[in-house]
Structure 1
């Protein structure tokens, strides 16, 4: 066994020549270690340690690690090392708050409030709210899962219906507040998903490198006939995955 103060014990297992390549055998061992001994965010032992422990070449080690990085099980941080990647939050494109999505996947949702004020909204928000030129509650939050940054939500709320929203505890689920305190549950929404690259400010908040690809989702939410929320969210793509089910549209009869 190879141990250190930083890393778990590694099984000194001899890799054998056979139908399964050594890099595939090592990949299975490392994946087991990530599952049983390490937590998301923990560092993997260095390449030299893995070479010496399992009696393989640097090329074999890098191939095994590369496969796990490609599958999303590990992530590399330049100049720092290789770490166990967190399991991505999976959204199935149904109406659910960030908090409830996190809870359903066993993660604890929290928020850091980055901005909270009543202000003049952009033209696209005013057009959606159909409330004329008036200030609206503006809330920007860093959304965290088990203390790790997942997304930035930049949201506007219709002051016609929720003028004092920012007086509530917006560290919790705003959808829950809309439902329980205003009687305005979100009943439907239109979402638009695009990809962007993180600028320096966003990268610092989400703890990624500038230029990292992010998923941008703009959601326009209604409670019945009332437009209540316009939200632009930026998600870390290594921690958030969209999943949807599609079916072939019924063919229309022709003459």
Structure 2
């Protein structure tokens, strides 16, 4: 039989690029970027920033590529996708524990604090948010045609916690916030205090944002109580008239398997 597996070459997703970005704090990030093949609108493309970019960039890009072919039917328009990841071949990096969590920096996380976690430093969320705001976003805006009025931040688990932290402490940074299975239980008193201050800020009537929180149905029985904590927070946020808030529980999905359906729903929520 003739061997047809010849001329092997690496496979890449059309329209994607990869960069190494060294922050002012000498942190290295792997930045993955997808640019649509279409001509940009006069206002520029919408842009979606993904946390844990190593794990979900390809899934989001292919969903955008396929669904934006017929936006009149899918509600998804061509958009730039930016995956913020780390220089590793693994889907997740231990560095995420520092970047996505609040608290006193440099303190180590106890090994039993979260499933699968070894002792890691945490508390770098403010530093990471400054990196996004002052370094990465300006670099993207100088390089690509971006609609600065249509920016989305997407995160899952600890990334979802960081999305809520950004909403509460810097609500004008993005227009749409997607928090999947957010780890609200992590140093819970901090995120709840940030939420309390955010509600006070909303009293001014100047805060406007789109917020989607999604969980898997099977997470209702997770020992961290992620489902109930997320639903309770959404109920409180829904009382704010200038916030468009949506909560979705995906049937028969768990903490990790919820990602593909959450991504698909998030695109319609963010890009319609």
- The reply to whether TM is greater than 0.5 is no
Q: Report which of the two has the higher share of strand.
A: 1
Instruction: With the length of structure 2 as denominator, give the TM-score of the two structures.
Output: 0.27
Instruction: With the length of structure 1 as denominator, give the TM-score of the two structures.
Output: 0.28
Q: Report which of the two has the higher share of helix.
A: 2
